Amino acid sequence: MQVTAHPIVVRRTAVAPVGAPSISSRDYEVFYAETRKDSILLNESMTRIKLRLNPHDTEPESAQILQLLIDLEKELKRLGQEGFLARIQELTDAIEHASQPLLKKEWNRVKQGEKVYRNAKKFATWSSVALAALLLAILFVISGFFLGVVRASIQPTAPTNPCSHVQESH
């Protein structure tokens, strides 16, 4: 986090006693100019994360992450006060740790697919099996019919008089 690692913040946190006056207007201008883009990115990132989490979700991970983000926003307003950097590091570590189970859970859900997708996949699989079985049955019937026709055409016709070729000699 560039905002919290800025030299003015580090110097202010390390040197200033509790209750000391805020940084000079010149130092603030330098700080603001050098950290403005990072502050905007930080704010955008936190907002995107909060928008993706459902505050009314029953998942304890979501609620925990939302609370940690709220705590981080509050702590960022204490810029330069005693213990500021340690608390920011603690909160960012906690957010990272709390995010891992939720990300794993979501990854598993995405790998499985949505319920409609899973049902469509099952339907397609069973339909393919049923169609293959139907085609095999039709092929079996057709091959049996043609096999019967071929056998009938190959078999010689029986003579009308089985002994006509033999002459009697009595």
Q: Tokens 């209750």 belong to which residue? A: 19
Q: How far is CA 136 from the centre of its chain?
A: 39
What's the pLDDT tens digit per position in 61-86?
888 899 999 998 888 777 666 777 78
pTM of the model: 0.50
163 or 153: whose pLDDT is higher?
A: 153
Q: Quick one: 49 and 75 in the same domain? A: yes
Write out the two tokens for 107: 């990854």
Print the domain residue range for 82.
Answer: 7-112
Position 14 pLDDT exceeds 50: no
Q: Quick one: 84 and 122 in the same domain? A: no
Q: Quick one: 144 and 77 in the same domain? A: no
- Provide the domain count of the chain: 2
SS3 letters for 78-128? CCCCCCHHHHHHHHHHHHHHHHHHHHHHHHHHHHHCCHHHHHHHHHHHHHH
What's the pLDDT tens digit per position in 101-124?
988 988 888 888 788 888 888 899
What's the mean pLDDT in 13-34? 60
Q: Quick one: 102 and 151 in the same domain? A: no
Q: Quick one: 76 and 142 in the same domain? A: no
